Structure 1
Amino acid sequence: QKDENNYRITMAVAGFAEEQLDLTQKDNMLIVKGERKPEAEKTYVYQGIAERDFERKFQLADYVKVVGASMENGLLHIDLEREIPEAMQPRKIAINGNSLLEG
């Protein structure tokens, strides 16, 4: 959480290029997919990073939307912002002591 209305999700996606990642927001669900294109069969003595596709789903709160994403050093950063509609935000109501009902 960056502040009251801004959040960040950070995921380790080492070994994936930006074009192999897909971010989708549908309703209150954020879906992050990583898909590798099949390559010619390779033989490894040791492979430190697994080459598996993945899909991760995040349930977002009401009025939260994705405002940006970036990748840095194998980490995917997804920035979120909560925008509560004006009609839903709390508002202060002034108390006026001189407005007694007369009748």
Structure 2
Amino acid sequence: MSSIDLSPFYRNSIGYDRVGALIDSALRSADSTSGYPPYNIEVLDQDRYAITLAVAGFRHEDLKITVENNVLTVAGSRDRDVGDRRYLHQGIANRAFERRFNLAEHVEVTDADLSDGMLNISLKREVPDAMKPRTIPIGGGDSNVLEHSDQAA
């Protein structure tokens, strides 16, 4: 496993300390995670996203979705109901899983739905007004307080 040197990036950026940790974590987990369950990440429009996981055989009560520290975790576990069944071949996965997705700041999970073996998770980016672009007025030599563009208009 190799590591990426982000020091040139940090020279011109402020507040992106978490980026290095995310990249290292992604590089480490890429080798250690299985492809189960398969999933899609879809861009619906500029601020809306969807994650779809194929979780055939799992019921609502078998799945758990949590968000903590900008990490969305989807976990599934179900009881093995072996009973009187004897298989010649068992190709349908019946194993527990945990998938983690790193969320950017201001991305929130808005909904989750399980239908036809597909778990659909809706996400939306909602940037607070204080974080949106603003115009900085140039004063005439005196030290004016910075104003938001909506106040200056």
TM-score normalised by the chain length of structure 1? 0.83
- Hey, what does 1:37 align to over in structure 2? 79
Counterpart-to-counterpart distance in 2, 1:51 and 1:28: 29
Pick from 70, 83, 103: which aligns with 1:28? 70
Q: Which amino acid aligns with 1:62?
A: E
Q: Which one has a larger percent helix, Structure 1 or Structure 2?
A: 2
- Hey, what does 2:108 align to over in structure 1? 65
Query: What do you get for the CA RMSD once the two structures are aligned?
Result: 2.2
- Hey, what does 1:2 align to over in structure 2? 44
Secondary structure, aligned partner of 2:130: helix
Aligned residue pair count: 98
Q: Which runs of 5+ in 1 are unaligned?
A: none
Deviation, 1:73, is 1.3
Counterpart-to-counterpart distance in 2, 1:46 and 1:16: 20
- Hey, what does 1:50 align to over in structure 2? 93
Q: Which amino acid aligns with 2:115?
A: E
Counterpart-to-counterpart distance in 2, 1:2 and 1:10: 12
Give every structure 1 segment of 4 or more consecutive aligned residues whose post-TM-superposition deviation is greater than 6 Å: none
Q: Which one has a larger percent strand, Structure 1 or Structure 2?
A: 1
Counterpart-to-counterpart distance in 1, 2:140 and 2:118: 63
Q: Which amino acid aligns with 2:67?
A: Q
Q: Which amino acid aligns with 2:47?
A: N
Q: Which amino acid aligns with 1:11?
A: L
Q: Which runs of 5+ in 2 are unaligned?
A: 1-42, 142-153
Deviation, 1:101, is 4.3
Structure number with higher relative contact order (C-alpha < 8 Å, ≥ 6 residues apart): 1
Secondary structure, aligned partner of 1:70: strand
Deviations 1:40-85 (A, max 9, x none): 4532123331100000000011111100000121111000011111
